[in-house]
Amino acid sequence: MQNREHFSSRIGFLLISAGCAIGCGNVWKFPWMVGQNGGGIFVLIYLVFLLLLGLPVMIMEFSLGRATQSSPISMYQKLEKKGQKWHLHGPFMLLGNIALMSFYTCVSGWLLYYFIKFLTGSSANLGFSAMIANPSVNMIYMGIVVAIGYTVLSFKLQGGLERINKCIMIALLLLMVVLAGNSFSLEGAKEGISFYLKPDFSKISFSVVSAAMNQAFFTLSLGIGSMAIFGSYIGKERSLLGESINIILLDLFVALTAGCIIFPACYTYHVEVSNGPSLLFDTMAQVFNNMNGGRFWGSVFFLFMVFAAMSTVFAVFENILACFRELTGAGRVKGSIICAIVVFAFSTTTALGFSLIPFEPFAPESSFLNFWDFIVSTNLIPIGSLIIILFSTNSRFGWGWENLVREANSGKGLKVQPWMKPIFTYVVPILVLLVYITSLISFDWR
């Protein structure tokens, strides 16, 4: 592999890292999680855990990547002591990225399909169940997502990923502002925003706290090297606490604005806000089909969703490609072709899992999508985060607190302080373990 590529600018690093964190978890899952868990009180608890849980792990991932200038597949070898086995986590991080894309490419394809249907004025008979049961739709649009993603990555880091992602993220933010402005003008805007942002403390429960904690953790896709890879593409000009805060604030802005788009529309057109995953595909499609100018606003909304999804696709594809290139020494073009074939093959299981190759690994009507999500979200992300925390903070068995702080504090900006050590070393791993246990307990096994 040639000399390591780097981002050309700080804004490039911030936007691609934020894009990886944003994705469908913020613009699709976050609103319906809010709808099912009491509205504003869920949002408040989510904010607390985003800073308490997400921020420390993000700093650690960035630090490992920047210190080693390597992909997740090989970063442990450069930091672990002789005879240690931390590097065994590397292949599991690569597996986590592949598992994530095995269903995420299909979800991104669904969003692209809905965008094209609204753009062409063919949205009247759209239905989520009918769409996912159509193998041709699933395979074609999933294939388009994979092809676009690895075509962009076949160019150099700065000329491909960084340039395209900047355009996508700027367009995404502009579309969000336009969509939010339209939602604020609707009749049900006041009622929808009140439900969304005004905390009702009477709705606090263990399930709400657990759901908020899980969402705050999983939305950032930590634990599988998704942030470490981008830490390896930057220098030491800026400290990592400040950069991580900027990324989390941008992630938070997108999540909150997505709710400000969706909930006023739901209350205006009297549709149920707790509809779960179908809130986006069935409920919002119904809203736009009954709205004046709905074809235009539906097109803009689903274009925004496509941009959000593709920002994560590009980021995770880059992680997979970087790992493959370090393992084989392949160039970007050859590596992109091979990785595209591998991701397409794995994604085929999800694309056909609702029709030609039915598979119910858990509860009735579960599918390959649930299986891959279980592998990565329920297991590899929390376990991987716990490994990263223990390695980064334990001086005796791992890299150690002193080395972590030295790396994280290199450069201008906010610094990790000594008083934070107990939080990073004890509070965060306990919370991660709690997230993992509650996820297993609440999982719909049968």
Residue 270, exposed/middle/buried by CB under 10 A (0-12, 13-18, 19+)? exposed
pLDDT at 276: 63
pLDDT at 149: 94
The amino acid present at 270, given as its one-letter code, is: H
- Give the Cα-Cα-Cα angle 305, 195, 184 (nearest 5 degrees): 55
First to last CA, the chain: 47
Closest by Cα among 141, 165, 169, 144 to 155: 165
For residue 412, what are the β-bridge partners? Answer: 238
Beta carbons within 10 angstroms of residue 218's beta carbon: 21
Say which range, 13-17, 212-216, 331-335, 370-374, has the weakest mean pLDDT. Answer: 212-216
Q: Are 272 and 266 in contact (CB under 8 A)?
A: yes
Mean pLDDT for 21-31 is: 78
Q: Are 42 and 271 in contact (CB under 8 A)?
A: no
Instruction: Answer yes or no: is pLDDT of 316 > 80.
Output: yes
pLDDT at 278: 66
Instruction: Answer yes or no: is pLDDT of 190 > 90.
Output: yes
Length of the chain, in residues: 446
Mean pLDDT for 381-404 is: 94
Q: What percent of the chain has pLDDT over 70?
A: 98
Q: Where are the domains of the chain?
A: 10-100+159-291+359-442
Average pLDDT, the chain: 90
Say which range, 93-102, 184-193, 265-274, 319-328, has the weakest mean pLDDT. Answer: 265-274
Beta carbons within 10 angstroms of residue 342's beta carbon: 15
pLDDT at 289: 85
Whose structure tokens read 């009247």?
124
Instruction: Answer yes or no: is pLDDT of 1 > 50.
Output: no
Q: Are 351 and 138 in contact (CB under 8 A)?
A: yes
Mean pLDDT for 271-288 is: 74
Express each pLDDT in 52-71 by its tens digit: 999 999 999 999 999 999 99
Most confident among 145-149, 199-203, 224-228 (mean pLDDT): 145-149
pLDDT at 352: 97
Express each pLDDT in 88-140 by its tens digit: 999 999 999 999 999 999 999 999 999 999 999 988 888 888 999 999 999 99
Instruction: Answer yes or no: is pLDDT of 181 > 80.
Output: yes
Q: Are 78 and 70 in contact (CB under 8 A)?
A: yes
Express each pLDDT in 398-412 by its tens digit: 999 999 999 999 999
